Structure 1
Amino acid sequence: MAYRSFESPQLSRRALLRSGAWLTAGATLAGGPFSSIALARETTTAWPAVTSLIEQYAGARKVANMVATLGWGEKAAQVISQGTLAIGGEAKAGPDSLYRIYSMTKPITGMAAMILVDEGKIGLDQPLADVLPAYANMMVQKTYDGSVTDLVPAERPITMRMLLTHTAGLGYGIVQQGPIKDLYEEQGLIPGQVSRLPIPGLGRAKPVRGLDVFADRLAKAPLVLQPGTKWSYSVGLDLMGRVIEVASGQSFDDFLKDRIFDPAGMTSTWFTVPESEVGRLTTNYGIYNGAPLPMDPASSSIYLDVPAFPMGGAGLVSSPRDYDRFLKMLLGFGVIEGKRVMSEAAVRVGTSNLLPETATTKGTWVEGQGFGAGGRVNDGAYGWGGAAGTVAFVSYKAQLRANMMTQYMPSDAYPLHAAFPEAVLADLAAMTGL
């Protein structure tokens, strides 16, 4: 599905966030020559198609910067970068620059949930109501995006599997329209943030304070689809953050730090950028009539504020180096540099197709593909992307991890979510002579 780029100064939250890899990480995330590069990975040092892509955008100042990391197996990643933290600035972007990764938060939350599944604290097919009783008797809109009072009972319980795979029937303020969208805004069910600036057309509704309050209010809103029937991009991973809190006995942000970030050596991934690290933060741009305009300057970024709650669907800031470490851990089936972060089983299951047998993907952005714990699954690859132009994946067939970061919105203003995987595929094809 295509979405328009900015055609007027009215920059809506929907236009900014309902774009790109939040919805489409690119159908070329895996496949092609990924299964035929065993020899190439021992000698490859050049990625001409990826380098050309970066030059095309960062070199032409369509974006302030682009940083790509590409790594084979356990080897150190090769970094290809160009540009500065802000257009006109002097500080160069690189592997330790900080980016708003938006929905690339979802795979991290998904893997956090898989840790608890592996420990037996939650089950994939366990009813959500076992952990959050408010979800025991959900009601569903009789008409999708229609009345919020003309409802029918849910035909089956929401399960943890459904939360992880966007099949729980939950809505999303950046996807839904009509009364349900209005209800989400009125109730503060807003698991995303863009800027402190009063940008015309950008919704200023305030999110609720606290993940517990978010979960309680969401339980009172109707579902948009019957649970387990269809893939529909949702707040499922945000709600999973609350499940993780209750099941683990820790705050969601502390759980991520203690169980993933610290053991994986991810020292630059936060929900709030520390004041001491502002000098590494990039500026996020809105694309207006083909030109980038600053919408979240680093020095006054909304990511310097403590968020209303830790947003497991879209809340993290990270660096290319840090996210590569997350990918490296996944590619090592839970082990990074000899240290086990997750069990092999947890990673194998989380990066496999977890879609319920009752759910269809027909007519959706993942039609014909699988979906795992917070990320797309396709031909031996797992990954997802973010609303401000970031995209990342691991390919188990190729033993490759690939990550690209830049900052612009809406992400469909440029075709980078598809163009980066395509460039990686082109380089892989050249390596193998296919």
Structure 2
Amino acid sequence: MVRAAAEFDISRRSLLRGGAMLGAGALAGGVPFTQAALAQGTSGQWPRVARLVSDFVARGWSPNAVVALGWGQNPPEYLGQGDTTFTSGIRADADSLFRIYSMTKPITGMAAMMLIEEGLLSLDQPVADILPAFAEMKVQKVYDGPITEDNLEPAVRPITIRHLLTHTAGLGYSIVQQGPLAQAYAENGLNPAQVSRLEVPGGLNSPPAPSLEVFADRLATMPLVYQPGTHWSYSVALDLMGRVIEVASGLSFDAFLQERIFDPCDMSSTWFRVPESEKARLTANYFLLDGQPLPIDLPANSVYLDQPAFPFGGAGLVSSPRDYDRFLMMLAGFGHIEGRRVMSEPAVRLGTSNLFPDTLAPDGGFTSGGRTFGFGAGGLVGMDEAAGLFGWFGAAGTAGLVNMKTGLRQTFMTQYMPADMEMQNAFPQAVAADAVAMER
């Protein structure tokens, strides 16, 4: 018997596994992710990735999987199987539309890097210079404790642009926090993304703030969960960065992305709202209940056909495998793509480097599987044998990574929640193994 959506046990922690910590573990076992040492491959053969895609679709969690792989400025190769929904009969391909959720964050991060390069922002500039409401923040003494004066203390330093880019501002997240703060976020519409028209537990379907300006103003009234600059803590920081970008640039956040990134990169299928004319390209999103996929957002009446309350800079975009590969291609070209300069090389190099503040606590960094990673402008940064890696993951099973040393680009698209850590691990391992085989 199919259970109603209201009975789905979608916990905040399970959704977090689908988008926050995902993929870091992908670098922690199996085939070592040592693409920094790889030469550019020319065979165009990805047998392990092809097998992984085939096995994944055969598992039945999602009706499709589409992969884009490429080197440097060379055109991508696409691998894929399945249809846009279990019943559509429409083949999923490079131009199909997927909810990329937190893969929005590196795009927002690079938009901020453009303004830093132009002198309109600076990394260690207090956010309060742009948004004065953040001038006097309070911090919870007990993490996720009560929101009462006896559990609050003044922030010892201001939140900076660097803190927002690296999730070290101490801001909360409705998919992470528990108790009073999670409730306060929900009541104030501090949501990280759209998910479904259905009632979905977990703090994701409460009414959102009516605008990005109101979102920022309400967020400024919330206590922080950590002192700024001390801990990596997944948060709404990149959503707030959207408001910083529009104030600093004088353009609405979505207009800035369109004019400065999407149009120059020829990302013609990346939107906060899917046009009605394009809904046939939209894939369905599913929730796994006892291993069975139940639809929570179907193309014909998707919540992404509506204008969102505001553009979610942390998790709001829909994109295609082709489009996201073009974003990665621009990064691999250090801001250059097909004869066009989208970003300066210094801005890309800085944004894809480890930007953690020097005030980070000894145990305050980003770790997974016993390994430590850096963090750049909205995405993880590989360290040691994974040096050069930059990118992030999405709550519905997507992944987008580029190795800045070798130019190897890799995008994985599918749609199911919560995304599976095993799959997030397997994809970059398969890419790495095939890439190693190419140089032999």
TM range (shorter): over 0.9
User: Which residue pairs with 1:95 in the alignment?
Assistant: 94
Name the residue aligned to 1:147. 146
Equivalent position to 1:396, from 401, 404, 415: 404
One-letter amino acid matched to 1:67: V
> How far did residue 424 of structure 1 move?
0.7
1:170-202 Cα shifts (integer Å, max 9, x gaps): 011100111111111111111211100235777
Is residue 2:191 matched to residue 1:193? Answer: no
**Distance change in 2, residues 1:423/1:363 (3 Å):** farther
In structure 2, the residue matched to 1:114 is: 113
* Count of residue pairs the alignment pairs up: 423
Q: Distance in 2 between matches of 1:15 and 1:259?
A: 35
Aligned pair in 2 of structure 1 residues 119, 13: CA closer, same or farther (>3 Å)?
A: farther
Aligned residue for 2:230? 229
Match of 2:20 among 19, 22, 40: 22
Change (3 A) 1:52 1:301: same
Tell whether 2:42 aligns with 1:35: no
1:389–1:364 distance in 2 versus 1, CA, 3 Å: farther
Letter in 2 for 1:376: L
Which of 393, 414, 418 matches 2:425? 418
Residue-by-residue CA offset, 1:79-101 (whole Å, 9 max, x unaligned): 00100000132100000000000
Q: What code does the residue aligned with 1:56 have?
A: D
2:394 to 365, 368, 386: 386
TM-score normalised by L of structure 2 = 0.93
- What amino acid is aligned across from residue 408 of structure 1 in structure 2? Y
Of the three residues 402, 409, 413, the one matched with 1:405 is 413
Bigger CA drift: 191-200 or 124-133?
191-200
Asked if the contact 1:101–1:318 (Cα under 8 Å) also holds between the matched residues in 2, the reply is yes
Task: Determine if contact 2:159/2:228 at 8 Å carries over to the other structure.
Answer: yes
Question: In structure 1, how many angstroms separate the alpha carbons of the residues matched to 2:184 and 2:404?
Answer: 42
Structure 1 stretches lacking a partner, 5+ long = 1-7
- Are the equivalent residues in 1 in contact too, given 2:171–2:237 (CA < 8 A)? yes
Identical-pair percentage: 57
Within 5 Å, give how 1:20-169 maps onto structure 2.
Answer: 20-29=18-27, 32-38=33-39, 41=41, 43-149=42-148, 150-169=151-170
Residue 360 to residue 384, structure 1, CA distance change in 2 (3 Å): farther
Shifted more, 266-275 versus 53-62: the winner is 53-62
Note the C-alpha offset of 1:15: 5.0
SS in structure 2 opposite 1:12? Answer: coil
> Structure 2: how far apart are the matches of 1:197 and 1:305?
14
Q: 2:8 aligns with which of 7, 10, 28?
A: 10
Letter in 2 for 1:94: D
Are the counterparts in 2 of residues 383 and 393 from structure 1 also a CA contact under 8 Å? yes
Compute the RMSD of aligned alpha carbons.
Answer: 1.8
Q: CA deviation at 1:288?
A: 1.2
Alpha-carbon separation, structure 1, partners of 2:16 and 2:301: 24
CA shift, 1:432, in A, is: 3.3
| Offset at residue 29 of structure 1 (A) | 4.7
Provide the C-alpha distance between the structure 2 equivalents of 1:269 and 1:102, rounded to a whole number of angstroms.
Answer: 12
Cα distance in 2, alignment partners of residues 364 and 167 from structure 1: 9
Give the equivalent residue in structure 2 for 1:317.
Answer: 318
> Counterpart of 1:342?
343
> Which digits, 9 at most, give the CA deviation of each residue in 1:287-325, with x for residues without a partner?
111121111111111111111110000000000000000
**1:365 deviation in Å?**
5.0
Cα gap change, 1:352 to 1:361, in 2 (>3 Å): farther
Q: Kindly provide the CA deviation profile for residues 53-83 of structure 1, in whole angstroms up to 9, marking residues without a partner as x.
A: 1001113433110000000111100000100
Question: What's the CA shift for 1:11?
Answer: 3.2
SS in 1 for 2:263: helix
1: CA distance, partners of 2:297 / 2:365:
31
Residues 120-152 of structure 1, C-alpha deviations (whole Å, 9 max, x = no match) = 000000011000000011000111100111210
2:380 paired residue number: 376
CA 203–250 in structure 1, closer or farther in 2 if over 3 Å, else same: closer
**Can you give the 5+ residue segments of structure 2 that lack an aligned partner in the other structure?**
1-5
Cα distance in 1 between the residues matched to 2:153 and 2:249: 33
Contact 1:111–1:373 (Cα < 8 Å) also in 2 = yes
Q: TM-score, normalised by structure 1?
A: 0.94
Q: Is the 8 A contact 1:282 1:298 kept in 2?
A: yes
**SS class of match (2:367):** coil
Moved more, 197-206 or 292-301: 197-206
Deviation at 1:431, TM superposition (A): 2.3
